[in-house]
Chain A
């Protein structure tokens, strides 16, 4: 019989007490696990969708608001940016790709974004793009007719509100109102390539219908990305501006049609820094570095979850201390057992190791139960989190931080066994061999 077997037998002998002590550790480990999983999911929810973006240009205001509105589809657009800025940026020597973004409509609760085929350009690596087609699960990218776009823009500027129904711009070529829907939209509303959809005005769910009835032909369905893009409907920008209700989308200062934002992909090297410095000097616009803004946001969120994490660690510490207290309290009744082991030839260090081993095993079992419980808890509340926060934490991931935390729990547990182990170490053999009266 080895020491580890003896440790297991001892714990089996004190099943109820050991289980209750392990439960203390388990509660702490559960909290740590839940906090770590939610923190990782929160970071993932912000970092994953922002991957592939570089700079976002928008009207002056909050950069974070611009990023949240453009990438995460949260809140209202902070304002409008002249379409001319987009054309200027498209030609800027530091820019390799500019993608226009115009929001303002919804389709049965899903946000509609007016953009061009630039969205499907492989230089826009979001969410992955070896080719325009690789962004699609089915169909083809939408096409934006530049001539029709110019006509719609001039009609919008010359007679706001009079652009009229689709295709009603005088002399304009027959418009192609095309839409590409996100994977989530396609799944939720059973929309397929070839269907016709009718967005409504306003970004909130239940928006009002346009004055005239406009229908978009679905030409593609985006591949699933696990980002807010899954919940978006892309339409070609020319059709977006041809809607009469979008006459409000004019920047008063320039009397130009407005965009919500421009996604900017600088050329490699110093061009990103150059663009940031140049554009932020301009009074009418600002440029947000997506990575920096998201990390700043995570820093704010991190402060809150750090507090939760410390509370969870405190609960683990209380649990581990309870292991020490429980073992210490049982020592009085176990002195005879320890003396018997010594008389059989066990060394002092063996009984010390046995107590430390018991503490470590209680902590290991409690910790394991806690971490499993944490994953089950996250699985149980993931739907609720998705409803309220917009992302679904996964219970099926094992984080390196969890493994580290588990090892620390075992280590702390072993440490908790040192004091009772030392008491056992010092325990006198001869006086403890006699059973208590």
Chain B
């Protein structure tokens, strides 16, 4: 999925006094992998939220695939996100009341995938990740590494065209971070990947690294 962010500015605060995101132009071809770096508060997470359609920027245009996000209504953006965009978070954001298997099937169900194929795909992924034996476990019963693998599996389970990852390795030790990143890159398939991070272990694996500072309007 092609990604284009152009002339975007987003402000927080009641009087829009705080500039949270400032991107002159950020473009990615379909299937490209990019790493966005920057210090805390530089707008990395806001950029991912804008790409996920969770936030509509105050100014500028955001295009995901052939779709202009600002032209979509919120329910339409929900559908787009459910079907085409997978998200991975530093804190995993797994649903504690659901088992590992159910966490994977739920995301697919929102994407409109039928129950049985969703369950089959979820089991394949759990097998691939080496946690098939933990399919009934709640997220809190899994190790941090297992939780992040599960979170990655959830993001890619519906075969999205765009995967957005926000500091996906920040909570992991070196081995787990490496494994998680390998998995993310492998599972993305032909999908576009945007990782926001300041983790050197991640940055060194990417050919294209973009700084939030470079993206700003001049």
Contact = CB atoms under 8 A, between A and B. Distances in A.
A269 interface: no
Given A1-B105, A12-B97, A345 B111 contact: yes
B105 A342 contact: no
B109 A1 contact: yes
A2 interface: yes
B29 interface: no
Interface stretch (A128-136, A304-312, A403-411, A429-437): A429-437
Contact of B78 (A6, A12, A337, A347): A347
B107 interface: yes
Interface stretch (B82-90, B175-183, B201-209): B82-90
A336 B97 CA distance: 13
A345 B75 contact: no
> Which of B83, B109, B115 lies at the interface centre, i.e. has the most chain A CB atoms within 10 A of its CB?
B109
Nearest to B91: A435
Interface in B60-114: 74-75, 78-79, 81-83, 87, 89, 91, 93-98, 102, 105-107, 109-111
Q: Classify chain A's interface size.
A: 20 to 34
Contacts of B91: 434-435
Given A6-B106, A430-B54, A433-B89, A345 B97 contact: no
A2 B98 CA distance: 12
Nearest to A6: B106
B210 interface: no
A337 B102 CA distance: 15
A429 B106 contact: no
Interface in A334-353: 336-337, 340-349
A434 B107 CA distance: 19
Given A9-B97, A12-B97, A337-B95, A344 B82 contact: yes
A409 B94 CA distance: 34
Nearest to A346: B110
B49 A345 contact: no
A337 B95 CA distance: 7
A1 B104 CA distance: 10
Contacts of B75: 347-349
Contacts of A429: 49, 54
B32 interface: no
B52 interface: yes
A361 to B, nearest CB: 14
B78 A346 contact: yes
Contacts, number: 67
Given A9-B98, A343-B52, A343-B93, A348 B111 contact: no
A345 B107 contact: yes
B102 A340 contact: no
A13 interface: yes
A435 B106 CA distance: 21
B185 interface: no
A1 B106 contact: yes
A10 interface: yes
Contacts of A336: 93
A2 B54 contact: no
Given A2-B109, A6-B106, A430-B54, A345 B79 contact: yes
> Which of A1, A6, A433, A435 lies at the interface centre, i.e. has the most chain B CB atoms within 10 A of its CB?
A1
Nearest to A345: B82
Interface string A345-369: 1111100000000000000000000
A348 B77 CA distance: 11
A342 B85 CA distance: 12
B144 interface: no
Contact of B97 (A13, A346, A430, A434): A13
B85 to A, nearest CB: 8
B74 A348 contact: yes
B196 to A, nearest CB: 13
A286 B182 CA distance: 101
B54 A342 contact: yes
A9 B102 contact: yes
A344 B157 CA distance: 11
B55 interface: yes
Given A2-B109, A9-B102, A348-B75, A343 B96 contact: no
A430 B95 CA distance: 17
A349 B111 CA distance: 16
Contacts of A430: 45-46, 49, 54-55
A1 B109 CA distance: 6
Interface of B: 45-46, 49, 52, 54-55, 74-75, 78-79, 81-83, 87, 89, 91, 93-98, 102, 105-107, 109-111, 115, 154
Given A10-B97, A342-B78, A434-B91, 13 more contacts: A2-B115, A6-B98, A13-B96, A13-B97, A340-B94, A340-B95, A343-B81, A343-B93, A345-B110, A346-B78, A346-B110, A347-B79, A430-B45
9 contacts: A1-B98, A1-B102, A1-B105, A340-B94, A344-B107, A345-B107, A347-B78, A347-B79, A430-B46
Interface of A: 1-2, 6, 9-10, 12-13, 336-337, 340-349, 429-430, 433-435
Instruction: State the 10 A-B residue pairs at the shortest beta-carbon distance, nearest first.
Output: A345-B82, A345-B110, A13-B97, A430-B49, A347-B78, A429-B54, A9-B97, A340-B93, A1-B106, A344-B107
